[in-house]
Chains A and B, each alone.
Chain A
Amino acid sequence: MKNNNELPEGAVSVSELTHAIRGLLEEGIGDVLVVGEISNFKQHTSGHRYFTLKDGDAAISGVMWRSRTLTFIPEDGMEVVVGGRLSVYAARGTYQIDCMYMRPLGVGGLYAAFEKLKKDLAQRGWFDDGRKRALPRFPKTVGIITSPTGAAIQDMLSTLQRRFPALNVIVRPTLVQGEGSAEDIVAAINQMNQTDADVIIVGRGGGSIEDLWSFNTEIVAEAIVNSRLPIVSAVGHETDTTIADFVADRRAATPTAAAELVTPITVEDLLYTVDDLRERMIMNVLENVTSLRDLAESFVDGTAVRRISERIQHRSQRIDEIESRIHRTITHHVLLLQQKLDHHTTHLATLHPERPLKLGYAIVERDGKTLSIHDHTQPGDRLTLKRYYEVARVVVE
């Protein structure tokens, strides 16, 4: 006879049964990708999130641990796609989805999530103009965070080169779409803040709302808000607006426009300023010298102040000396410029020796010597006209 306390034939303990169920569910089903409507979404103070995923006929619990990145703020009623593993919670005899990632479903879902995040962040004051910083007028180093491939990076580099080539550029390539791109952009912003960049451009070229999604995530918005350096967002085309655009210090319609925003002063502006200042200095110094000498000479010519005229004459002479030194300085600088110009001209000439002839001009020679601009001709002079296809001998009338 068997003892009453003994297990009936074939019976198992709760733990054993649960263990078997766990095996069936976790190994039999394992990884899942589920579409459903969010309900009872709760973010616990621990940072873990609990929710139910349901459709018309069924519901399943879900958990997303704090360590997993959530790229938007889920709201009850929102259609989402959840990826994760089915897991059994033995202590309660329940099963749930251990959710690795979650994203809004479809364009409708994305727009809903976008509007929700926009509202939340606006309430936090993240879009306030008062929070936004001015861009540096004169950046030395520009940081660019974008895809290493594609037109955006090329557009930005060529615009910077054209407008202000006296710049350092630090490029931090990132993913700009797909899984992990939001996290990569956040890492890039944080990393760029450790460099000596003066301003950051974060962006990418155009795309669908799904393609631009990482720029509509809370973590990217947060990284932009917390950035030590001012940030220009440049996402997509003119018509694309993302959360990143709302929180950035400046929004550029396109990557090219972003490169223009960070170079408010162009190299042409500066060259113009330098030339203007140079001219002003020359004019002023000459004017000052001249007026001083006139003043001094007016005393010398006068009879009323003979006593000091000698000293003034001495001064006048001194001013003359200084004036000629200034003239020499100017001449020196003009000569330097002249030499530079000559150098360029010579260089050009060697590049295209026949160019003037091809254009129809002629070289004029007298006695085997080319006539310069200063040489004069006289009636009776026999000249040789060298043209591209012919040589003509002519006599001056």
Chain B
Amino acid sequence: MAKKPEIPSLEEQLKRLEEIAQILDRGDVPLEDQLALFSEGMALATACREYLEQAELRVKRITE
């Protein structure tokens, strides 16, 4: 079965967000790159927040 392309999971998004924050912490990348990372990070933070705030338990029942 072919693997379907997946939207990055919440965990992956958070991992990326932390990674970006760490790079910006160190401040050792060119300013242009910092700006790009910053934009990406802010968008990720907003997306994660919205996802978490709107999340609802998805319950599925299975039987024998």
Which A residues are closer than 8 A to B by beta carbons?
Answer: 138, 140, 148, 157, 160-161, 165-173, 187, 191, 195, 267, 270-271, 273-275, 277-278, 280-281, 284-285, 287-289, 292, 319, 322, 325-326, 329-330, 333, 336
Complex contact A277–B35 (CB within 8 A): no
For chain B, the count of residues having a C-beta within 8 Å of the partner chain is: 36
Contacting pair B52 A271 (CB below 8 A): yes
Asked if B45 and A278 sit within 8 Å, CB to CB, the answer is yes
Contacts of A274 in B (CB 8 A): 14, 17, 45, 48-49, 52
Given contact pairs A173-B61, A288-B31, a sample of 5 additional A-B residue pairs in the complex whose CB atoms are under 8 Å apart? A166-B10, A166-B55, A277-B41, A278-B42, A322-B31
Which residues of B, 17-44, contact A by the 8 Å Cβ criterion? Answer: 17-18, 20-21, 24-25, 27, 31-32, 34-35, 38-39, 41-42
B58 at the interface (CB under 8 A from A): yes
B positions within 8 Å CB-CB of A: 9-11, 14, 17-18, 20-21, 24-25, 27, 31-32, 34-35, 38-39, 41-42, 45-46, 48-49, 51-53, 55-64
Given A169-B58, A171-B62, A270-B21 contact (CB < 8 Å)? no
> Which A residues lie within 8 Å of B38 (CB)?
281, 285, 326, 329
Q: Decide yes or no: A140 and B62 within 8 Å by CB, A160-B57, A165-B56 being known contacts.
A: no
Task: Collect the chain A residues with CB atoms within 8 Å of residue B51's CB.
Answer: 166
Interface of A is mostly: helix
Task: Report yes or no: B55 in contact with A329, Cβ–Cβ below 8 A.
Answer: no
Q: A172-B62, A172-B63, A292-B31 are in contact. Are A165 and B24 (CB under 8 A)?
A: no
Could you list 6 A-B pairs, sorted by A, with CB under 8 Å? A160-B57, A161-B56, A161-B57, A270-B48, A277-B18, A285-B35
**Is there an interface contact between B24 and A273, defined as CB atoms closer than 8 Å?**
no
Tell whether, in the assembled complex, residue A267 and residue B52 are in contact, meaning their CB atoms are under 8 Å apart: yes
State whether A277 and B17 are in contact (beta carbons under 8 Å apart), knowing that A289-B31, A322-B31 are contacts in the complex. Answer: yes
Q: What is the distance, in angstroms, from B44's C-beta to the closest C-beta of chain A?
A: 9
3 A-B pairs closest in CB distance: A166-B55, A165-B55, A284-B24
B38 to chain A, nearest CB (A): 5
The docked-state distance in angstroms from the alpha carbon of A195 to that of B63 is 12
Residues on A with C-beta less than 8 A from B52 are: 166, 267, 270-271, 274
